[in-house]
Homo-oligomer: A and B are copies of this chain.
């Protein structure tokens, strides 16, 4: 491609409204432009990157036995009403009516559409399993679109859905998809982890997010420093054997703790440690209030509280609700003297405390020398806290460390969550109608592009991996008015294209400085500068990622390039 025939509007300045590196550089390099909040146009370079990400995903999905389809974005409301998501999805689902006032959703995801498609066609277990994918624009009206392509309102997604007669068949496809995703993100050169994720109301332990490790990630990953274990921090089980203190339990006593608001304050004031304090929180679980206890140096994980209580909705009780229940402020809560109907949950670590400190359910007062079992009882001990850095890894190998991650993929065992309400059934080998067992597998294609952009850059611009760089080679004649330079540039352009390289030729009448700055900014893997030595047939070659430069004769060029690109 000749640069004068395409559209690469680079910017010198970093756009003020772009707050992460990938977004800034995608704008500066002329890869994308924002149309309006969370909605972007992909310009020629951006479209090429997107297309290459698509191709890698398509190849790996097909190799894994998934078959491509193309489903509509306009989805009749009736389908979403069948599963109830028309009502539960909230403002993120974009809705409209047609000229006849029929309601539609704009495809945010396609479980309903694909399930309705198959339920009319696949009646026998003999036609299962089936794994279908598509690559298509999705629409989600995010409350706070941000970080450019990382959280947009219209974005490109690969979504796949599998249908099975047995759980074993789903397990098999799930593992195949896990491997396909690993191949995809590996080919893209991303530093990623497959992470155990929260399955929400759907259940099933096999539910993984693929996270690209990145400072700007919105999720925290807990991973082992010695094994492959990695989980979303919400999901990381704490597997610690807390040794019980050999102190003898003392007599409980009430102590005044005026103006001591935090655990750290109280511990210092009472000359003890946070590990010997017990923090008490009140949660609202569906319609109940429950008390949850944890060690003073631990944080309570509400996803675990949700699992332990079996409630659908779990949230911290409001101060007024606490006041009404216990007649005291949040800073002085404790497990002693609770109304008898209130259930008490405690994290496993609490059980090992002897002579600890708890709030007295009386403002400005605490109780010291408190020992669980002796001074108060707990209904349920469970793993209720967030894992911490340094904790042993739940798989028994190594210690936990934290990292931030960008979610780029998610694979999910849906089970019969959609097939049951949609009455999507097949006849099993006994002739009985059974709901399909389903899996779903998503990749944010445009988000992947942003994640790669975030990872592959330096101060001068992008350092794209070969496989998704918009072009492989950037030929830059320094001065297009210089006949030998122009001619050699165009000759090389034709030559390299004939060898099937993807080549961009900077045939603009710009100053050398502008051309070099643009070349570094847009970041093709190899730059060939055609300068003053053009008449001698000598070229300067720069590898963008390493910064290495070489002077090569024209005759040597093809061999070197072949080595670089391993073609």
Please report A residues at the B interface, Cβ cutoff 8 Å.
1, 4-7, 9, 33, 35-36, 39-44, 46-48, 50-51, 65, 67-76, 91-92, 94-96, 98-99, 102, 106, 113, 116-118, 120-122, 126-127, 130, 132, 134, 136-137, 139, 141, 143, 153-154, 509
User: CB-nearest residue of chain B relative to A110?
Assistant: B41
Residue contact A50 to B70, C-beta cutoff 8 Å: yes
Residue contact B7 to A72, C-beta cutoff 8 Å: no
Given contact pairs A67-B7, A71-B41, A72-B40, A99 touches B91 in the complex (Cβ within 8 A): yes
Copies in the complex: 2
Given contact pairs A5-B65, A67-B6, A72 touches B117 in the complex (Cβ within 8 A): no
30 pairs of residues in contact across A and B, judged by CB atoms under 8 Å: A1-B67, A5-B130, A6-B67, A6-B130, A7-B118, A9-B121, A35-B72, A35-B116, A36-B102, A39-B72, A41-B69, A41-B70, A41-B71, A41-B113, A42-B71, A44-B132, A47-B70, A72-B154, A73-B137, A73-B154, A74-B154, A92-B99, A94-B98, A95-B96, A96-B106, A98-B141, A98-B153, A99-B141, A126-B509, A137-B137
User: CB-nearest residue of chain B relative to A62?
Assistant: B1
Given the complex, which residues of B lie within 8 Å of A65, measured CB to CB? 5
User: Complex Cα distance A30/B9, Å?
Assistant: 44
Residue contact B40 to A130, C-beta cutoff 8 Å: no
Residue contact A41 to B139, C-beta cutoff 8 Å: no
Residue contact A153 to B41, C-beta cutoff 8 Å: no
For residue A249, give the distance in angstroms from its CB to the closest CB of chain B. Answer: 56
User: Complex Cα distance A557/B29, Å?
Assistant: 52
For residue A179, give the distance in angstroms from its CB to the closest CB of chain B. Answer: 17
Q: Which of A68, A70, A141, A509 has the most CB of B within 10 A?
A: A70
User: Complex Cα distance A44/B76, Å?
Assistant: 22
For residue A189, give the distance in angstroms from its CB to the closest CB of chain B. Answer: 23
User: Complex Cα distance A126/B480, Å?
Assistant: 15
For residue A5, give the distance in angstroms from its CB to the closest CB of chain B. Answer: 6
Please classify the interface of chain A as helix (H, G, I), strand (E, B), loop, or mixed, using the class held by over half of its residues: mixed
Given contact pairs A42-B70, A72-B40, A7 touches B121 in the complex (Cβ within 8 A): yes
For residue A487, give the distance in angstroms from its CB to the closest CB of chain B. Answer: 21
User: Complex Cα distance A39/B79, Å?
Assistant: 14
For residue A133, give the distance in angstroms from its CB to the closest CB of chain B. Answer: 10
Residue contact B69 to A47, C-beta cutoff 8 Å: yes
Residue contact B44 to A75, C-beta cutoff 8 Å: no
User: Complex Cα distance A141/B102, Å?
Assistant: 11
Given the complex, which residues of B lie within 8 Å of A143, measured CB to CB? 99
User: Complex Cα distance A78/B254, Å?
Assistant: 67
User: Complex Cα distance A70/B32, Å?
Assistant: 9
**5 other A-B residue contacts (CB within 8 Å) besides A35-B76, A41-B71, A99-B141:** A5-B130, A9-B122, A41-B70, A73-B139, A74-B153
Given the complex, which residues of B lie within 8 Å of A153, measured CB to CB? 74, 98
Given the complex, which residues of B lie within 8 Å of A118, measured CB to CB? 7
For residue A504, give the distance in angstroms from its CB to the closest CB of chain B. Answer: 11
User: CB-nearest residue of chain B relative to A36?
Assistant: B76
5 residue pairs, one from A and one from B, having the closest CB atoms: A96-B96, A42-B70, A9-B121, A91-B99, A44-B67
User: Complex Cα distance A493/B126, Å?
Assistant: 22
For residue A42, give the distance in angstroms from its CB to the closest CB of chain B. Answer: 4
User: Complex Cα distance A117/B33, Å?
Assistant: 8
Given the complex, which residues of B lie within 8 Å of A36, measured CB to CB? 76, 102
Given the complex, which residues of B lie within 8 Å of A134, measured CB to CB? 47
User: Residue A44 contacts which of B1, B68, B509 (CB distance < 8 angstroms)?
Assistant: B68
Given contact pairs A96-B94, A99-B91, A44 touches B72 in the complex (Cβ within 8 A): no
Given the complex, which residues of B lie within 8 Å of A509, measured CB to CB? 126
Given the complex, which residues of B lie within 8 Å of A41, measured CB to CB? 69-72, 113, 117
User: Complex Cα distance A70/B154, Å?
Assistant: 12
Given the complex, which residues of B lie within 8 Å of A39, measured CB to CB? 72, 74, 76
User: Complex Cα distance A1/B50, Å?
Assistant: 26
User: CB-nearest residue of chain B relative to A126?
Assistant: B509
For residue A388, give the distance in angstroms from its CB to the closest CB of chain B. Answer: 37
User: CB-nearest residue of chain B relative to A131?
Assistant: B5
User: Residue A69 contacts which of B42, B73, B120, B126 (CB distance < 8 angstroms)?
Assistant: B42
User: Complex Cα distance A106/B141, Å?
Assistant: 14
Q: Which of A9, A46, A98 has the most CB of B within 10 A?
A: A98
Given contact pairs A7-B130, A91-B99, A113-B35, A44 touches B69 in the complex (Cβ within 8 A): yes
User: Complex Cα distance A134/B42, Å?
Assistant: 10
For residue A163, give the distance in angstroms from its CB to the closest CB of chain B. Answer: 10
Residue contact A35 to B99, C-beta cutoff 8 Å: no
